[in-house]
Amino acid sequence: MCRATQLMDRDMQYDEMTPMAETIADLMKTLAHPSRLLALCAMMEKERSVGELATALGMRDQAMSQQLAILRNKGLVSTRRDGQTIYYGLADARIETVMAALYATYCAAETTAKP
């Protein structure tokens, strides 16, 4: 039995999990765009400006701004203004935990598997 199944075997009923499942599904839809996913990865290290993120991801500033607006509207990133520059960072520890799990499962495993 896998760990996830063991955790689910506790007293929680599926009808009790439905509201949270909908919230998680919405989060996964938001993460399903490669540019948004990579932007969140970049913000794991530190806050980033639109220009920094756009350059790092090979995008135009306007396209990056559109993706960041979606992340902000979903509550995944927060902003801080310094003069004319707006910096984006992860909004809370939950998204950092999700991103760390995705990295450990997919990116770190891929890196260590290569010779």
pLDDT tens by residue, 99-114 = 999 999 998 866 665 5
The answer to whether position 19 is within a domain reads no
Neighbours of 57 (CB within 10 A): 16
Q: How many domains does the chain have?
A: 1
pLDDT tens by residue, 62-100: 999 999 999 999 999 999 999 999 999 999 999 999 999
Q: Which residue has better confidence, 48 or 12?
A: 48
Using CA atoms, how far apart are residues 62 and 81, in angstroms rounded to an integer?
A: 18
pLDDT-above-90 percentage for the chain: 74
The answer to whether position 24 is within a domain reads no
The answer to whether position 43 is within a domain reads yes
The answer to whether position 107 is within a domain reads yes
The answer to whether position 10 is within a domain reads no
Report the CATH number at residue 50. Answer: 1.10.10.10
Residue range of the domain that includes 48: 34-113
The answer to whether position 57 is within a domain reads yes
